Structure 1
């Protein structure tokens, strides 16, 4: 989508509407430096076409974006002098998404940098195995549903 029909800062950047420090591009994706980085070297990998969240991205495009992130990750980590790396997708406001154009964060990490993605969550307690098994069965059922499979493939 063009910026004129899409009030999205990433669409504007993709189509030349602002300053952006591009570090990767191909016909489907663009990667650029985050202007609010967790650490130096923080990169965003975005599709050229507007997709709001993970639920909206075609699976082949999502796989391509992750392939780009996998390619950039070791380079960013080495150049940033980092000892770790997070590859993160925030999908939806409750998950921390603040720009509603799907994107993948590639974040070089340094010990003691103050950014916390702590899993398992410190306050969580493991649920009863029957609850875990019941949710797993529901997921399997959804995956086997032909109508659901067609929707995912589209």
Structure 2
């Protein structure tokens, strides 16, 4: 398993940095977020270091997604949450602050958690959307 000596999440997986572990299997490790957005907010990481979504091996990504789903189900049943967000930030411009791939599992409590969308969904320019879609489809 690859690790980075200065990566806090590698330290958590290795047990050299304390955490509140929620789940562990051969590929993933899940622990409570120390700066939670809501009650029950946790993180799922691959045990092997990968900087971000662009670098994580597909097998580890699938394992993190499966663990995220399992824990989302547990959150809904155990914490009586009304919903759950699964969030990954890839790159500094996308709010990534720890450069070890991680999936936020954030319980949502309708009208009780104070969280809002980070953007206001509004209809976009249909021609621009189609042009961008065509560029992405051709690559």
> Do these two structures clear the TM 0.5 threshold for a shared fold by scoring above it?
yes
How far off is 1:124 after superposition? 4.4
Per the alignment, residue 97 of structure 1 pairs with 96
How far off is 1:102 after superposition? 0.6
User: RMSD of the TM alignment (CA)?
Assistant: 1.7
Post-superposition Cα deviations, 1:60-99, rounded to whole Å, max 9, x if no partner, equal 2212211111111021122222111111111111111111
Query: What secondary structure sits across from 1:115 in the alignment?
Result: coil
2:121 and 2:47 map into 1 onto residues whose CA distance is 39
Structure 2, unmatched stretches of 5+, are none
* Over 6 Å off, 4+ runs: none
**1:23–1:33 Cα contact (<8 Å) kept:** yes
Query: What secondary structure sits across from 1:106 in the alignment?
Result: strand
For residues 7-22 of structure 1, what are the structure 2 equivalents within 5 Å?
7-22=6-21
1:138 and 1:55 map into 2 onto residues whose CA distance is 19
Aligned residues: 137
Structure exhibiting the larger radius of gyration computed from Cα positions:
1
**1:41–1:79 Cα contact (<8 Å) kept:** no
Per the alignment, residue 40 of structure 1 pairs with 39
Scaled by the length of structure 1, the TM-score of the pair is 0.81
Structure 1, unmatched stretches of 5+, are 143-154
Post-superposition Cα deviations, 1:86-143, rounded to whole Å, max 9, x if no partner, equal 111111111111111110011101123122225xx3274411x22222211221222x
Per the alignment, residue 120 of structure 2 pairs with 122
Per the alignment, residue 135 of structure 2 pairs with 138
Scaled by the length of structure 2, the TM-score of the pair is 0.89
Which structure has more helix as a fraction of its residues? 1
Query: What secondary structure sits across from 1:31 in the alignment?
Result: strand
